[in-house]
Structure 1
């Protein structure tokens, strides 16, 4: 009796003969287009044997594929986090975990930024949105300032964007964190990747790497949602730069820059979710005493959003009918949800 591999080899031979008759040039083009090839001993946890029933893989020049590959999808034979999100591969590991499960139930932050304006190793300003009542909508905004540039935040500004019936994070807790010594120092961790996860909160995915540092400590590194294609896997070495903060029950290095041997340094852009669509109407509105551009956006998916495009003095107003792309954070303002656009929109 033939084994499955023998049957598979025989079936490939028959199909190959038919392919030569139908058009060898097209078949060779498809084979040479693939970039990956793996030996069995080198395939690791992100590479698996071709599915024998996936005809599209029979002429790709190798017998192994990354575990993010979907049947019938043209693939570049290189594992990536984005491809893994849409994979139909039943053998693919489930790497996505909810933020509340990963960090603990008291985790409520979804978007943070740090600014080191003079590049001296201290983040003079930090900001974050907060879900203060636990309803999965950001309804408060906090900024921290290091006035004397000593690496410790001296003052804070807490803005409640919406009235809430029950506050999970009171402004006094924010004040206490500053009083107890909230650090804005830039840390550097060099080490080896031991594990990785994609952590999801609302519609945002964040790439998390568990790193064994050279000093013997282990720490989770947050690479944000814009770095899902970063090719760092178990056993890879890198150097991570950023503030170390407490999220839920974990200490996390929130990376602002990553240095990979032989690849160089990469800045980590921290932006909100991306929205694309057509402007249906525009107006100006007062936001904390300043005139802001506000648009009604119909997204490519057919949803309608109210978008705060920012200070009138700093931005050119979009027009009705314009196709625009913005990144931003959804916040609850009063009794409605508004997307606050990042400054680096297009």
Structure 2
């Protein structure tokens, strides 16, 4: 079944009495339980994970980041700038931005308690065109390996890939200050019937490079407003998404983002949370942030190991020749 899909509902008016009031109390209780389960899962001892959010332009990556942070902190804030372009596929984010827990938890209601836990660093970047070409894969490799400095513009990186490929190691060296990706989340909107299959294949390929095998997950947003009302068509859409990402259904989070249609009045830039949204996201992140799921680091043979192997092989060949001469040389 994967992460449980919650049916989106309008916020309950606290002025209403009876069943509505009981329903809201129950939702808040379930949200608290979901957060406590997430805290227990991520713990306090391990290194915080680094998560990259990947998707095409205008797919809702920044909205999902705001939704994720809101679900953790208990209040919605505009951490990642979101644009409303009426489905034109435009985007606000044009660079690589990192949201660390020290930044997004500081306004949380229970900041001192939450700060003790290993909440992830979230890597946001501009949308990538639906392509599976060499430039796209090189860009993804640089990002996933942690060689791109924070606040770098994606357009500049692509230009260097095309014009200065031989200098990439010098332009983007490995640095301790950069973020090596531990999880990849590929985001797709259920409101759009067209899947970015080329980009999905490129991300899947880059997540299993020669050096590292990075766990990948899918996030399907806008489940409150899917492109179709036909169950079979919707399930086929989900199946295709999973196939192209190479993930199990349990690794696909279905959720609704906080957005203009479900956010109430703005009060000092803060809006009230909807527990039914938070519950789905928190349960999904419990799976994604599971510390038992790890990156596979492939060991590369050192020069000395290669030399030693070559010497042993040469000695073996010489020995076999000598034996052959002794037996058949006369």
Report the TM-score when normalising by structure 1.
Answer: 0.21
Asked which structure has the greater RCO (Cα within 8 Å, sep 6+), the reply is: 2
Question: Counting helix residues as a fraction of each chain, which structure ranks higher?
Answer: 2
Instruction: Answer 1 or 2: which has greater strand percent.
Output: 1
